[in-house]
């Protein structure tokens, strides 16, 4: 069965970006964390699965987190109104 997908919403909180990550894999998991462009978010789901999400520069305000069925790679799109952050983003994160 497929169904490895999620969505991500960005809110600019002063000098940080708050990312609400929603993953769907054999159930629903809501994972939250704070990211700076270029940084990564490491988290573990309820059933012990470990994930890494890294930031990527983009002019997209609302991005999608897509997981390949095999390698489960995620890609975060950053908004273009980051103020004075101006850091270059990282690459896609993978399991």
Instruction: List pLDDT tens digits, range 8-35.
Output: 443 433 344 444 444 333 333 434 444 4
Q: How far is CA 1 from CA 4, 69, 70, in A?
A: 9, 9, 12
Instruction: List pLDDT tens digits, range 39-62.
Output: 555 555 455 555 555 555 433 223
Task: Supply the range of the domain harboring residue 17.
Answer: 5-94
Tally of domains within the chain: 1
The band of 88, judged by pLDDT with boundaries at 50, 70 and 90, is very low
Supply the DSSP string of 25-88, one letter for each residue: SSSEEEEEEEE-TT-EEEEE-TTS-EEEEE----S-SSEEEE--TTT-EE-----S--TT--PP
Cβ proximity of 64 and 8 under 8 Å: yes
């Amino acid at each position: 069965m497929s169904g490895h997908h999620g969505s991500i919403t960005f809110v600019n909180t002063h000098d940080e970006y708050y990312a609400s990550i929603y993953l769907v894999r054999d159930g629903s998991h809501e994972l939250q964390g704070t990211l700076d462009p270029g940084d990564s978010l490491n988290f573990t789901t309820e059933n012990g699965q470990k994930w890494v999400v890294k930031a990527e520069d983009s002019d997209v305000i609302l991005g999608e987190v897509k997981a390949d069925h095999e390698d489960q790679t995620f890609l975060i799109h950053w908004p273009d109104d980051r103020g004075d952050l101006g850091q270059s983003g990282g690459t896609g994160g993978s399991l």
